[in-house]
Amino acid sequence: MTADLWTAFYIAILTAFVGYEVISRVPVLLHTPLMSGSNFIHGIVLVGGIVVLGLATTSLEEAIGLVAVIMGAMNVTGGYVVTERILAMFDRSKKKGGPP
Amino acid sequence: MIAWQTPLVDGVYVLAILVFVLGLRSMSSPTTARRGIVLAGVAMLVAVAVTVLLPGISNFGLIALGVIIGGLAGWYWARVVQMTAMPQMVAIFNGMGGGAAGAIAAVELLVALGNPVTAGLSLAGAIIGSVSIAGSIIAFLKLQGWLRSKPIVFPVQQPLNLTVLAVALAFGGYAAYTVQTFWLLPFFVLLLLFGILFALPIGGADMPVVISLFNAFTGIAVALDGFALVNGPLGDAGYALVIAGTLVGAAGSLLTLLMAKAMNRSVGNVLFGAFGATEETGTTMQGSMKPIDAESAAVEMAYANEVIIVPGYGMAVAQAQQKVKELADLLESKGVTVKFAIHPVAGRMPGHMNVLLAEAGISYDKLFDRDEINSEFPTVDVALVIGANDVVNPAAHRQGSALFGMPILDVDQAHNVIVIKRGQGKGFAGIENDLFYKENTRMLYGDAQAAVGQLVAALKKS
């Protein structure tokens, strides 16, 4: 266990509380965009995919790393577009005829 | 000497994390939410782009290829899909994240199987990531209707599932113990099988819980991969995964608990209870279902002071939200107050009804959740139930019913109830609905889109 790893554990514990606090205020109305927005944020997995593919040396590692990057990229773009599309519908400024 | 690239990349990651947290926080209000997600999108783009600057990264061609294939596929698919298919889209993109986390764990295991700490973390990441992708794909197939949405059950199901998981863990442990990568193959195959078996017995109506649970799973898998990366040569990227993954893990877990609570069931009961697999028998209902025609129903609503509309999954299936909007507008033009009562688990994902009604252009001021509106039912003239069943079933107040204790919308208290329903069948839970047999309830049979269309036509004539 390196010191870096312990640091990461400390950060993770604090982050879990931040996540809980931030989310517990979201109204039912926005549960779908919340879920799909957090779905987009774990698309950060793409960064991990790029790292393992970038460091891969054997063709097996490269193949699996490529799968990770493709899936990660799908997660991040799909998650973003879905969230954006949903939120666009809640955006009043784009709606005609709605209350001001 | 530290190259200039590393501090730059680290700085970008720190800023990206800050924007992610602020982006999630902006979700607490519909007016700020969109700006939040756009900012988070920009932060994500920059974070991904600078990652290739990290020292030691090569294989740029493959990286570009993967990003382009996956990015275009995800972008295109999410753009063209119908709004009504959103639950399965969320499920499949979440599954892709889980798969990516599993694949990263696999590469980590190939590279550093001899390091017990990295191996342990990667094995954990592999388990959760694999279950997430396999389970999400089953959820996708069920939501898409390509797989039966009722629970798929067979004898000794749970013991079999546990055995598969235990054997998978044994292979993984053996691989790490002997440092022989070959044993990782059966480990992953069995994990994927377990993920499939795990999701099969979970029924369609329980999907709001399941989708948020798999979302939390993917977040946790990403965080575990992050720990493994922190323990490797390029730890910088690992921290970003740890923080973003933990954030999603916490958010997803909280949402999962909220959804389970809205059904008054434990998460364990949702996952392993195979709810809705069996139909209730033996209860005989008092009275009969009394039909009504669209004209009479339209008149009843037109002369009401207030109408509360209760949408359910039937509205989503029939894609009736536009017609519902037309109906609400017509009623309002006749001076009727129209409100919408939204049950937290109506539909197939958290907030499903809100999204569909927003798509139709219904202002979110008119949408009320259970706690806000339940006290209004006793004074409302007409409650119009469109394709909702279990969430309005007063059997939830009856001791011994499978629904007992579930917080429902108290539609049965309204002066008059009109229920739009395709046929006389039972709801997802397989339980007779007392509401349909009540003295003041009238049934308007038909597909939600057609039935609401008839109401609209009748209102236009009058």
Residues 6+ apart with CB under 8 A from A11: B239, B242, B243, B246
Q: How far is B409 from chain A (nearest CA, A)?
A: 15
Q: d(Cα B33, Cα A87) in Å, to the nearest integer?
A: 7
How distant, in Å, are the alpha carbons of B38, B108, B303, B398 from that of B232?
Answer: 32, 9, 71, 57
Do A75 and B94 contact (CB within 8 A), yes or no?
yes
Residue B235, Cβ density class (10 Å: 0-12 exposed, 13-18 middle, ≥19 buried): buried
Q: d(Cα B290, Cα A54) in Å, to the nearest integer?
A: 67
Kindly list the averaged pLDDT for each block of 10 residues, start to end, along chain B of length 462.
80 94 88 91 96 92 97 96 89 97 96 93 96 95 88 87 95 94 96 95 87 95 96 89 95 91 85 70 70 92 95 91 95 95 90 91 91 93 93 87 87 94 76 87 93 94 80
| pTM, 2 dp | 0.90
List the pLDDT tens digit at each of the 100 positions of chain A: 678 899 999 999 999 999 898 888 888 888 889 999 999 999 999 999 999 999 999 999 999 999 999 999 999 999 999 999 999 888 765 544 444 3
Tell me whether residue B365 is one of the annotated catalytic residues.
no
Choose the mutation target among A2, A21, A24, A32 for the interface with B, i.e. most B CBs under 10 Å.
Answer: A32
C-beta atoms of B352 and A8 within 8 A: no
Extract the runs of DSSP E, i.e. beta strands, from B132-264.
Answer: none
Give the sign of the dihedral formed by CA B157, CA B158, CA B163, CA B168.
positive
Residues 6+ apart with CB under 8 A from A96: none
Chain A residues lying within 8 Å of B48, measured CB to CB: 46-47, 50, 76
CB of B25 within 8 Å of a chain A CB? The answer is yes
Q: Which ipTM value was assigned to this complex?
A: 0.92
Do A52 and B50 contact (CB within 8 A), yes or no?
no
Q: d(Cα B222, Cα B242) in Å, to the nearest integer?
A: 7
Residues 6+ apart with CB under 8 A from B89: A78, A82, B77, B78, B81
User: In this complex, which of A4, A31, A74 lies closest to B73 when CB atoms are compared?
Assistant: A74
DSSP string across B403-450: TTT-----GGGSSEEEEEESSS---TT----GGGGSTTEEEEES-HHH
C-beta atoms of B235 and A4 within 8 A: yes
Q: d(Cα B345, Cα B259) in Å, to the nearest integer?
A: 7
C-beta atoms of B97 and A18 within 8 A: no
Interface of B with A in 367-396 (CB under 8 A): 367, 369
Nearest-Cα residue of chain A relative to residue B354:
A29
Hey, is B341 helix, strand or coil?
strand
CB of B339 within 8 Å of a chain A CB? The answer is no
C-beta atoms of A41 and B106 within 8 A: no
CA-closest candidate to residue B130, choices A39, A68, A13, A15: A68
Give the sign of the dihedral formed by CA B449, CA B453, CA B456, CA B462.
negative
